[in-house]
Amino acid sequence: MTVSKNDATEIAIIGAGIAGIAVGNFLATKFGVRDVILIDLGRPMGFTSAQSGENYRNWWPHPVMRQFTDRSIDLMEEIAVACGASLNMTRRGYALATRQENSDALIEQLYASYEDCPDRLIRIHKGRKTPDYVPAGQGPWHEAPNGIDVLQGGDLISGIFSGFDKSVKTVIHIRRGGDISSQQLGQFLLERFRASGGRLLQGRVRELSAASPFSLKIETSEGTRTLSAERIVIAAGPFVQQITGMLGITLPVINVVQQKIAFADGAGAIPRDLPFTVDLDEQRIDWDADERNVLSEMAHTTWLTEPMPGGLHCRPDGGKNGTWIKLGWAYNKFVSEPSWDPPLDPHFPEIILRGAARLHPALKAYYGRLPRQMTHYGGYYTMTEENWPLIGGLGVDCAYVVTALSGFGTMAACAAGELCASWVCDATRPAYANALSLDRYNDSRLMHELHACADKGLL
């Protein structure tokens, strides 16, 4: 359905990434709101959502985020059952590797995050054999175990993850995690939205009045159109500040460009049944002596010889019959103004390859000769300092936001859409709702707790 030159709607959603689409879906399917228009300059899921790593997990350093993503995974599982194999949902989990022999601090963090059910979910394995541990596999996602398996000891780990570097002493295997087709998920939500009467409008919001009913001036290929909306939801990804600024609101969010690569693993360096692996430890990149000397002599490359943060991740892509792997490392800390063409570092592929080889030594086969079949991509992480999303009211009557889903947009989209829709409809909300809204900045105890935590769950 098209939008006429002068039109009105009950709710306008600005931004048709996966979060905005999810809001529209839940407004229609859960709360029965049919008169909704999704507005975006490009095609749905054509910008930040198109760069998704397509991973999900319920592992977070705080129970609020764990509960939030657990809810989102519940909803994704319902969709996976409804639409069958098209989502390509897997459940190999996340394997968090560290060379620390004393992993007490990591285990304490697990107990804090899973405080409502730790004895049932957390299993610790020591020794050379562990008959109770179920390895990751290629079976259906609904047959995979839940909870967390903590593997301690180099001999035990080598017997299970033979490709890991022998220095690894602890692996935390988060079982409720894996990968999913983000485009298929978004398409499913979009189809349900449109089937319920939802409309799409392609164009750029140029003006937005500051009170309800909101008047939106939208620049389209056919000229400027005016749209009146009783309520608005701003789901504009990295451009969220540009839209909220029209309401006189500045949000506590920034944009940081993060990058990934994917390539055909012709050497078979990464097993096809490997979980999504994360190297938790800091490292120095594996340059040879000559390379290190050259890099250290130039001011703009000296940083490549200095300690790098942990969090580098790797996983096989394309299922058991695929050959590709994906690598990601969110080490960039520089804030950027958003643009439609995020800048990518041409050196990133070699940087991340050498970083990943520390946990997966077989990747050294690709030093200096990455395959031609390689994709280097990236996008903006729109994030708050504490790396929690902002979902809820904006402090202006009838105006709402869903933003700051930095690096976890796909996995959180369903819960974020449902939660935002519940704010819009003033419906019953989960216990974590206020903590994920702007209200949390009025909770001094929570904010002190978040600022004191070194681990932000950033991947």
Tell me the CB-side half-sphere exposure of residue 406, using CA atoms within 13 A.
Answer: 25
In the chain, the percentage of residues whose pLDDT exceeds 70 is 98
Give the model's pLDDT for residue 119.
Answer: 63
247 and 369 in a common domain: no
* Residue 118 domain flag: yes
Q: Which residue has the higher pLDDT, 181 or 4?
A: 181
Which pLDDT band holds residue 379 (cuts at 50, 70, 90)?
very high
Strand-pairing partners, residue 326, are: 262, 315
CB atoms within 10 A of CB 359: 26
Out of 365, 383, 401, a domain closes at 383
Lowest mean pLDDT among 104-108, 125-129, 179-183, 221-225: 125-129
For residues 327 and 353, is the Cβ–Cβ distance under 8 A?
yes
353 and 262 in a common domain: yes
Give the model's pLDDT for residue 333.
Answer: 94
Q: Residue range 28-52: average pLDDT?
A: 95
Torsion of CA 436, 439, 440, 441, to 10 degrees: 130
pLDDT in tens, 235-294: 999 999 999 999 999 999 999 999 999 999 999 999 999 999 999 999 999 999 999 999
259 and 153 in a common domain: yes
Which among 24, 94, 84, 109 has a CA at the least distance from the CA of 53? 94
Out of 362, 383, 404, a domain closes at 383
231 and 206 in a common domain: yes
* Total domains in the fold of the chain: 2
CB atoms within 10 A of CB 214: 21
- Cα angle vertex 153, ends 150, 155, to 5°? 120
195 and 119 in a common domain: no
For residues 371 and 266, is the Cβ–Cβ distance under 8 A?
yes
One-letter amino acid identity for 454? A
292 and 163 in a common domain: yes
**327 phi-psi bin (left φ>0, alpha ψ -120 to 50, beta other):** beta
Task: Tell me the residue range of the domain where 394 lies.
Answer: 6-54+182-253+385-452
As a whole number of angstroms, the distance between CA 131 and CA 322 comes to 30
| In the predicted structure, residue 297 carries a pLDDT above the cut 70 | yes
* Residue 27 domain flag: yes
As a whole number of angstroms, the distance between CA 105 and CA 367 comes to 35
As a whole number of angstroms, the distance between CA 140 and CA 151 comes to 23
* Residue 410 domain flag: yes
* Residue 77 domain flag: no
Give the model's pLDDT for residue 84.
Answer: 79
271 and 146 in a common domain: yes
Q: What is the CATH number of the domain that holds 303?
A: 3.30.9.10
Which pLDDT band holds residue 30 (cuts at 50, 70, 90)?
very high
Which pLDDT band holds residue 118 (cuts at 50, 70, 90)?
low
153 and 22 in a common domain: no
Out of 336, 364, 383, a domain closes at 383
| In the predicted structure, residue 1 carries a pLDDT above the cut 50 | no
241 and 330 in a common domain: no
395 and 376 in a common domain: no
Q: Residue range 37-42: average pLDDT?
A: 97
328 and 294 in a common domain: yes
As a whole number of angstroms, the distance between CA 325 and CA 261 comes to 8
For residues 432 and 412, is the Cβ–Cβ distance under 8 A?
no
As a whole number of angstroms, the distance between CA 153 and CA 168 comes to 8
In the chain, the percentage of residues whose pLDDT exceeds 90 is 88
Q: Residue range 133-154: average pLDDT?
A: 91
